[in-house]
Amino acid sequence: MNKRRVVVTGVGAVTPLGNDAETTWKGIIEGKSGVGPLTRLNADEYPAKVAAEVKDFNAETFIDKKDARKMDRFTHYAVASALMAVKDANLTINEENSHRVGVWIGSGIGGMETFENQFEMFQKRGYKRVSPFFVPMMIPDMATGQVSITLGARGFNSCTVTACATGTNSIGDAFKVIQRGDADVMVTGGAEAPITRMAVAGFCANTALSTNPDPKTASRPFDKNRDGFVIGEGAGIVILEELEHALSRGAKIYAEIVGYGATGDAYHITAPAPGGEGGARAMKMAIEDAGLSPEDIDYINAHGTSTEYNDKFETMAVKNVFGEHSYKVAMSSTKSMTGHLLGAAGAVEAIITVRAIQESILPPTMNYETPDPECDLDYVVNEARPKEINVAMSNSLGFGGHNATIVFKKYQ
């Protein structure tokens, strides 16, 4: 079967580094940190004192005030990012093409803040005071729902919930929708607003979050002294488009998406499989899907959460897949600057990866001070580096044993 080619023609983001994709990308290349003191909650109540919060974001810049009140924050971020991505792609969605434009946006935990606020209301005042919008504000698929309503996109419509692999799975699955001919354009990515009382309590309870009180060094992937991830929030949306469709309207092309792999560890609810076995299979699958060999990969945007097991096992997985080439391939974790955006992480990292290809520059892993003998690859430490990047991959690994990898190629 002749596979249709798929390219990235637009990007949009709301992140701890800035409320658009360009500011976010600039911050990444400059090694800026989006991590700061935890302000959304009372930090005295938690062992984790820092977070990567979205700053100065006003939903009403993008959404009518009345409509915004009927959405959780994760949906605000998704709608804003989608509108920016569509604008960036210079894409017009109308009666003629709307049924060929799909939406696939995931969220790891959806409207947790809405759930907490409404449950409090229910406990104090009974069911009659619960908002009629409670359920549609809370469910994770509502980012997709509201984006498709806002854009008038009536094509293939879905939502992925695979914890921290969500954003990458969403983009990979949307890529396959276009490749097999079920849509010409997909608006895809992930959105998350998890800096809430219960979400932070839950991550603190399972000791996943860093308790380092210094915002500058709390997220330190691959560093020997890493002690957990820094929770972040925001959204990333990319416009994927069938190549001929993009060319026919003169769209600018960031990169081509060429491979996707997704596997399950079948091992443990939160810990990755020993040696990153499942992650290694996802990478192999994505490289094979792209019709490439491991030696073709120039850069890996790592999952790199700054947790003990993830960084060690992801490093082992890369060695398993790449062999000798693992010491030549550049690899970095941009979570050192954005924190971990859970279901939105893979989507924001996909944007960073295509920009890296476009600009021929390797994003850095910041806050790296003390080498870990078990993490001994080229992590592009502490500053960005110019390099011609022809092929790059982005990894995401999630609770539940979900592994996802996507491969991008310079468009030629």
Asked which of 227, 248, 269 is the last residue of a domain, the reply is 248
Comparing 119 with 412, which gets the higher pLDDT?
119
> Count of CB atoms within 10 A of residue 233's CB?
30
Is residue 1's pLDDT more than 70? no
Tell me whether residue 254 is in a domain: no
Task: Check if the beta carbon of residue 285 is closer than 8 Å to that of residue 405.
Answer: yes
Is 164 known to be catalytic?
yes
Shared domain check, 323 and 382: yes
Mean pLDDT of 3-17: 98
| Rounded percentage of the chain residues whose pLDDT exceeds 90 | 99
Q: Which domain holds residue 131?
A: 7-248
Asked which of 248, 283, 318 is the last residue of a domain, the reply is 248
Q: 190: Cβ–Cβ under 8 A, 6 or more apart, which residues? A: 105, 106, 107, 108, 160, 166, 167, 170, 235, 236, 341, 343, 344, 345, 346, 347, 348
190-213 confidence digits (pLDDT tens): 999 999 999 999 999 999 999 999
Shared domain check, 177 and 37: yes
Side chain identity at residue 64, one-letter code: D
Residue of 159, 164, 204, 375 marked catalytic: 164
Number of residues written out for the chain: 412
Average pLDDT over the chain reads 98
> Hey, CA dihedral for 324, 329, 334, 337, is it positive or negative?
positive
Is residue 277's pLDDT more than 80? yes
Tell me whether residue 109 is in a domain: yes
pTM of the predicted model as reported, rounded to 2 decimal places:
0.98
Report the domain count for the chain: 2
Mean pLDDT of 296-311: 98
Mean pLDDT of 164-176: 98
Shared domain check, 266 and 354: yes
